[in-house]
Every structure is written in structure tokens, then in C-alpha cells.
Amino acid sequence: MTQTLEPRVSEAETEPDAPTFGHFIGGEWRASGSGRTFESRDPADTRRVIGHFQAGDAADVAEAVRAAEQALPAWRATPAPKRGEILYRFGALMAQHKERLARAMTSEMGKVLAESRGDVQEGIDIAYLMAGEGRRMFGDTVPSELPDKWAMSIRQPIGVAGLITPWNFPMAIPCWKMMPALVTGNTVVLKPASDTPHCAVLLVELIHEAGFPPGTVNLVTGSGEEVGIPIVESPDVPVISFTGSNETGKRIAAIAARRLKRLSLELGGKNGIVVMDDADLDLAVDGIVWSAFGTTGQRCTACSRVIVLEPTADALLARLVEKTATLSLGPGSDPATDVGPLINAAAVEKVERYAGLARDEARIVIGGSPVNDRPGLEHGHFFEPTIVDGVRPMDRLGQDEIFGPLLSIIRVPDYDAAVTALNQTRYGLSSSIYTRDTNTAFRAMRDFETGIVYVNAGTIGAETHLPFGGWKGTGNGHREAGHAALDTYTEWKSIYVDYSGRLQRAQIDNQIDDQADEQDDDGRGAR
Ligand code: UN1
């Protein structure tokens, strides 16, 4: 069934009847073949329905993949600078609609408005960066080892890119994936998280308005099982980029491996901040609180461990508790709010489980409970910002990604113990050190086993023109953002042009070695 639905920009706050949104396939808004829909609700007040979205399935995915395949020849043949211009227009449209997009994001995902604006801005930044790549997209031109021979490498698109994105950066991350995929000449099937389909619909409306040809970007909403897995399984989707949990990442990797697909995984983190004795404690407290409780701890880069040298630990903890006590919990749309809701009920239960563990095995110094009895918060997924002292590096609290506002304090005797604790995790996304000593800072830059290291700043706030991604279990070696993102979406092609007019043999005809000279001296001739 391909009933066309007009996209309707929702003002969910004011609209009593929540609108219904379509998949976007081949340049048209469509209902799912099954006719089923699902709801998205405001996590700050779950009585409020943001909209009804198509519950896609394998048949919808197949249609989207076909549309993306059909759009591919013309799109890859479009000169990259021209593709870049359309990306630029998309970035400009996002900038023009920044406030509307940010408000819709806060309604659907819950993060505070200033952070939603930041999320949109991150989308704009990557659109502009990748628009520039349309005129750059460097390969190498290098000298050949043989005379009269040209050697160079170029990037070429892979094909249809399947992009599976999370709810925590519901606009930035789809843009991180779509922009490099598109500028390099791939077409896209996007499957956004089921908690934030509206954010994806709003982005795709602007994609359409910016002038991407029909079929270049296709959106299929629905569950991971019914939409995500069929995308990964499709033999016609040769490149997959996924951001989400380790569990799902491993499952995707197993499927992708069977088909030898290009796969970029951006998975969990257990990011730590090391605080040395010589640190500026006020600065450290600001960075820790922002990194641990900003976005309600729901960033891959969020700080969930503070590794502090014992002599400084009590002073740091006292200041952390003091600052955390001032944080105001509430809906992200309220300008007074510092910490918004968690995304859904399952997230609250998960943080609650870890708070239970903290009660048994360590010491909760502030917070520790869900909040559902305060006026205005009864219908949302709120949880108190929580700090737990006395955590040991190998405790579950010190090891598991919690993805909520729960911060563990780990006390260590010295720098070496801090490095060991920091690195003793299966993840390796972001890390930070607070110190006034340049030597210690440089040692940390060398010793921390993470894809991102901050000095005298928290663990969050990566900028889009540097590679983003992690070591070890955080991913599979790929990077998003920066030039590095292009590697996910392109095949390298090395090209040799021999204009000598004769057979030239690499590694053979260019050898001038002692043996050859000796043979010449013997009069037997080397050539
Ligand atoms: C994420 O949480 O997956 O560095 C992305 C940051 C943001 C991106 C986070 N710029 O915190």
C-alpha cells in the first residue's frame, strides 16, 4: 500500500490530535504496507503524544532500498561539488529552522532546550563541513617508482548506506551519518530510534526541501527488529552505520560479517575523569557535573567515573555534592531546568537497578531515586542526579554503561593507579584529566586508551571536524565526523597511468642494487 501522506509539522504542545507521519520513500510520504503505526510520547509528560509513526517492516525496507538503488546512478554521477551545494542548502535550512527543530527535539527526546539547540547546531556543523568536502575529498597523488608513470588514489561511493541512529542525539547523529554518506555519492536508507521518529521526520522534510533528488534519502520508521535488522540483512545495502548499544552492535556485526559489509559501529562508553592533586577543583567540579548530568547522563561521552587521587577526594566530593544539590530537575522546555527526564520507563528502571547496587556495595552520597511525586514531574521519567562514593574500578558500577545520571567516585593513590583504573574497562570513547602540570597532561594524552582525550575540560563536547569514536569495545575501528568519516562511506581506488609506451615492471625494473652492479662488473649483465 502506498497511500501518500502529507507531512505535517507538528506543534505537539498545542495540538490536541497528534498528527500521523509517513515513511519517506522515493520522494513521497507513505504509509507502511501493514498499515500499523506506533506513538511517540514526551518523556517529560507521557500523557502528551507527539505523533503517530509508521511501524515499518521488511517490505517497507525493501521498497526504500529499491528507491535508494534507483537514485544511485544519477546521484553518484552528480559532481561532488554540486552534491556539496545541496548539503550546504540543507545546513542553511537547519540554521533557519533551528529554534523550531530544537523545540520539537526537547518535546520528543526531553533534553533541555539549550542542549537541543546544540544538537541541531552539531547537525548544521557537519552539513557545512561535509559540503566543503564536496570540493576537497582528497586522495593522494604521489610519484611513481617508475619513469613516465602517474599514480593517484580517489574515493568512490559504495552504494546504498543503511543508517541506524539513536535517540540521544536525534538530529546530530543522523546528520553525522547522512552528510558524509551523501557528499561521497551514496544514497541512504535511514532508520531512526523508535523513541525519536519525529526528529527524523523533521530532518527529512528539510532534506527534501534542500533539493536532494527523490530516493537519495529514504526514511523508514519502526522497531529495530522489524526495520533495522532487515536493513542490515539486505544484500543491496553494502554499508551500515550504527550508533547504539553494544548488544545490538554485536548482533549487527555478526549479520554484516556474513555478507562482508562495510560496518561502522559507535557503541558504549564508560568515560572517566581523572582529578589530580594539583587540579583547579572549581573547574573540575564544573566539568564533572556538566559531563555527568548534562543530557541526564545520556551521552555516549557522558562521564560516569571520577578517578580522584585520595588526598583530594574528600574536598572534591564535598564540592561535587554541593553543586549537584543545586541542579534543578524538570521538563527540558522550562528555562530553569538543568536536568531533563530520561528517555523512557526502561531507562528509569535501569538506573534504579544500579542505584540499588550502589546502596548494597558502595555509598550513595546524593540522589539515588526516581522522582515521580513532585508537582509537574508525576508523568515524566525523572531520576535524581546521583553520586556514589567508594566504587572500585572492577565493580559493576565501575564497569557497566548506565546511560543515566549516576556518577561513581573511584579513589586511587597516584597517577599510575589512575591510568590503570581509567583504562581498565572494555570501552574507550572519551576521557579527561584535570591537572595544572603540563608534564602530567602530556602523559595523560599519551596513556589514556580512548578515542577522545580532554585536558582541563569534561568528557563531552566533541567538535564535528575531528574524528569521533572510541577504542576497544566502543566500536570497530571506524570514526565518525572529520575527514575520517569519509572512510566509512567510500572505497579507495588506486589508479596508475603508464605513459612510457613500453612495458614497465614495478618492483623489478626499478631495482638498482649492489648485486646488480656486481653482476654488471662481472660482465654478465644485470638487465
Ligand atoms: C553521543 O553521545 O553519541 O561530544 C554523541 C559530545 C557530543 C556528541 C555525543 N558532541 O558529547
- At 276-291, the pLDDT tens digits run 999 999 999 999 999 9
Q: What is the mean pLDDT of the chain?
A: 94
Question: How many whole angstroms from 401 Cα to the centroid of ligand 1?
Answer: 15
pLDDT at 11: 44
pLDDT at residue 161 is higher than 70: yes
The sheet carrying 141-143 orders its strands as 141-143, 149-157, 490-498
| CB-ligand 1 contact for 462 (6 Å cutoff) | yes
Q: Does residue 519 carry a pLDDT above 90?
A: no
Mean pLDDT of 444-461: 98
Long-range contacts of 248-251 (CB under 8 A, 24+ apart): 248/224, 249/475, 249/476
Mean pLDDT of 327-350: 97
Sort 322 into a burial class: Cβ within 10 Å, 0-12 / 13-18 / 19+. Answer: exposed
Closest ligand 1 atom, residue 463 Cα: 10
Instruction: Tell me, using a 6 A CB cutoff, whether residue 452 lines ligand 1.
Output: no
* Residue 6 grid cell: 502529507
pTM recorded for the entire structure:
0.94
Mind listing the pLDDT tens digit for each residue in 312-338? 999 999 999 999 999 999 999 999 999
Residue whose CB lies within 8 A of the most ligand 1 atoms, among 293, 460, 479, for a mutation test: 460
| 460 within ligand 1 shell (Cβ under 6 A) | yes
Residue 23 has pLDDT above 50, yes or no: yes
Q: Read off the pLDDT band of 513 (50, 70, 90).
A: low
Pocket test for ligand 1, best of 299, 463, 478 (most atoms within 8 A of CB): 299
Q: Is the pLDDT of residue 5 over 70?
A: no
- Ligand 1 atom having least distance to the Cα of 118: 10
CB-CB contact of 38 with 72 (8 Å): no
CA of 291 to the centre of ligand 1 (A): 10
Q: What is the pLDDT of residue 262?
A: 98
Q: Are 388 and 406 in contact (CB under 8 A)?
A: yes
Quick count: other Cβ atoms within 10 Å of Cβ 55? 18
Pocket of ligand 1, candidates 117, 245, 301: which has the most ligand atoms within 8 Å of its Cβ, to mutate? 301
Q: In angstroms, rounded to a whole number, what is the distance separating the alpha carbons of residues 99 and 27?
A: 25
For 357-416, write each residue's pLDDT tens digit.
999 999 999 999 999 889 999 999 999 999 999 999 999 999 999 999 999 999 999 999
User: Whose CA is closest to atom 11 on ligand 1?
Assistant: 460
357 lines ligand 1 (CB under 6 A): no
Domains of the chain from N-terminus onward:
19-267+480-489 (3.40.605.10), 271-465 (3.40.309.10)
User: Active-site residues: which are they?
Assistant: 266, 300
Query: Residue 469: left (phi > 0), alpha (psi -120 to 50), or beta?
Result: left
CB of residue 406 inside a 6 A radius of ligand 1: no
Helix H or strand E encompassing 96: helix 80-96
Q: 301 CB less than 6 Å from ligand 1?
A: yes
168 lines ligand 1 (CB under 6 A): yes
Query: Cα 119 to the chain's mean position, in Å?
Result: 11
State residue 524's pLDDT score: 46
Ligand 1 close to Cβ of residue 432 (< 6 A): no
pLDDT tops 90 at residue 9: no
pLDDT in tens, 115-159: 999 999 999 999 999 999 999 999 999 999 999 999 999 999 999
Question: pLDDT at position 116, please?
Answer: 98
For residue 298, give the ligand 1 atom closest to its CA: 2
Nearest CA to ligand 1 atom 3: 300
Per-residue pLDDT at 525: 41
Is 169 touching ligand 1 by the criterion CB < 6 Å?
A: yes
Give the β-pairing of 452-455 and 430-434: parallel
User: Is 377 a pocket residue for ligand 1 (Cβ < 6 Å)?
Assistant: no
The grid coordinates listed for 50 are 507527539
**Percent of the chain residues past pLDDT 90, beyond the cut:** 93
Whole-angstrom distance, CA of residue 336 vs CA of residue 319: 21
Rounded to whole angstroms, how far apart are CA atoms 397 and 388?
Answer: 9
pLDDT at 372: 86
Quick check: CB of 457 below 6 Å from ligand 1? Answer: no
Residue 122 CA, ligand 1 centroid: distance in Å: 9
Q: Measured from the CB, is residue 171 less than 6 Å from ligand 1?
A: no
User: Ligand 1 centroid vs 240 CA: distance in angstroms?
Assistant: 20
The arithmetic mean of pLDDT across residues 482-500, rounded, is: 97
The whole-number pLDDT of residue 518 equals 52
Indicate which atom in ligand 1 lies nearest the CA of residue 122. Answer: 10
Cα of 304 to ligand 1 centre, how many Å? 14
| Ligand 1 in reach of 461 Cβ (< 6 A) | yes
Ligand 1 atom closest to Cα of 464?
10
pLDDT of residue 510: 82
User: Which atom of ligand 1 has the smallest separation from the CA of 300?
Assistant: 2
Ligand 1 centroid distance, CA of 26 (Å)? 31
Q: Distance from the CA of 300 to the center of ligand 1, in angstroms?
A: 6
User: CA 209 to CA 334: how far, in whole Å?
Assistant: 31
Q: Tell me, in angstroms, the distance from the centre of ligand 1 to residue 456's CA.
A: 18
Answer for the pair 3, 31: CB distance below 8 angstroms, yes or no: yes
Rounded to the nearest angstrom, the distance between the alpha carbon of 462 and the centre of ligand 1 is 6
Indicate if the pLDDT at residue 246 is higher than 90.
yes
Model pLDDT for residues 46-71, shown as the tens digit of each residue: 999 999 999 999 999 999 999 999 99
**pLDDT band with cut points at 50, 70 and 90 for residue 17:** confident
